[in-house]
Chain A
């Protein structure tokens, strides 16, 4: 009974977050609009600056 219960729990446990990307991979290109609607490309920073991409979903906004 306990084994069965643990089995059910394991099946329903949320999967840990994951991505197909790994350290050392080329970062996929991004072309996204800034707050003025201007397109910003990740490649614009290539050779100039390191970039931190923070995907901050459902912070204080709708999505």
Chain B
């Protein structure tokens, strides 16, 4: 929910190697159902999306900080045969 410019500085500071995206308008968090209208913030969440665009894993809240679940699902997806689109 930060601006992309703020994210750029953040990305430089910590040296990220993956796309760091800005949801400035809070559209993505609303579309993914994790925005809390009362607080004005989204909950932390991790979604794993497979190659055909289907959600294969969802983790919400404090446990979403731990990437173990997402890593395991990615590992399974890599071993899986390609699905028909």
Q: What is the bound-complex CA distance between A31 and B57, given in angstroms? A: 20
A28:B32 contact, CB within 8 angstroms: yes
**Complex contact B34–A19 (CB within 8 A):** yes
Contact residues of B: prevailing secondary structure: mixed
- Known A-B contacts A24-B55, A51-B48; the reply to A32 vs B10 at CB < 8 A is no
Residue among B4, B46, B55 making CB contact with A54, cutoff 8 Å: B46
Q: Which of A21, A34, A46 contacts B21 (CB 8 A)?
A: A34
A58 to B29, CA, bound (A): 13
Given known pairs A19-B34, A34-B21, the reply for A63 and B61 (CB within 8 Å) is no
B51:A55 contact, CB within 8 angstroms? no
The number of chain A residues touching the other chain, given as a range, is 35 or more
* Interface size band for B: 35 or more
Q: Which of B6, B29, B51 is the most central at the interface, judged by chain A CB atoms within 10 Å of its CB?
A: B51
The 3 closest A-B CB pairs, nearest first, are A19-B33, A35-B8, A63-B1
A residues at B contact (CB < 8 Å): 16-30, 32-37, 40, 42-43, 45-58, 60-63
Q: B residues near A, CB below 8 A?
A: 1-2, 4-8, 10-11, 19-24, 28-29, 31-34, 41-58, 60-61, 64-65, 67, 70, 74, 77-78, 85
A18-B33, A27-B49 given. 5 additional CB < 8 A pairs? A22-B58, A33-B21, A53-B32, A54-B67, A58-B41
